[in-house]
Chains A and B, each alone.
Chain A
Amino acid sequence: GQNIDQPTEMTATEGAIVQINCTYQTSGFNGLFWYQQHAGEAPTFLSYNVLDGLEEKGRFSSFLSRSKGYSYLLLKELQMKDSASYLCAGRYGQNFVFGPGTRLSVLP
């Protein structure tokens, strides 16, 4: 299978930095996506990594290590509105496989 694993829940404090990890099976892997989904809403695309390294977009950064089957999403200067589920998804051939999502709670 093409298992995508990520922690189920995380909690962090407003203003802090949080790192959400994602591991995936490397066989057939083509790229990795991160999505944000607020409760009751549709997902929103955050990032897509194909090559190793860190890509930064404002307060959000995404890292990929293809050889290790590992990615993380880094959120800086956390705000209350960042409370949401973060979905990691891998591209395998013509298929896209999603992880279970990490529910992040940002506390004041």
Chain B
Amino acid sequence: KAGVTQTPRYLIKTRGQQVTLSCSPISGHRSVSWYQQTPGQGLQFLFEYFSETQRNKGNFPGRFSGRQFSNSRSEMNVSTLELGDSALYLCASSSRVGNYGYTFGSGTRLTVV
């Protein structure tokens, strides 16, 4: 079966702009989590959605938001982009809530210039 699909793979944006990233989970998975990975900060948890509801949330500013649709696909939005938002954004899906048994996508590499 198809894995977790993230689009786009690469993105370049300008400071101040906003960006929307997309994640399609494995068929049948209802939980989707988002993570930011940078060389300096490592892997950081953003938020988790299950059945269209945010169930868990990390310590990121309100500029980072997300949503999940009825088909379990999820989007993550970052507004007013800053240079420090340049990172690899990873999405992971699972049939359960709680960050275990997750399968990760290949990520979207966002560069803010």
Contacts and interface: CB of A to CB of B under 8 A. Distances in A.
Interface of A: 33, 35, 41-45, 48, 87, 89, 91, 94-101
B57 A94 contact: yes
A85 to B, nearest CB: 9
B66 to A, nearest CB: 14
B43 A43 contact: yes
A42 B101 contact: no
Interface residues of B, number: 21
B107 interface: yes
Contacts of A41: 106
Contacts of B105: 42
B100 interface: yes
B58 interface: yes
B99 interface: yes
A91 B99 contact: yes
Nearest to A42: B104
Contacts of B55: 94
Contact of B107 (A42, A45, A87): A42
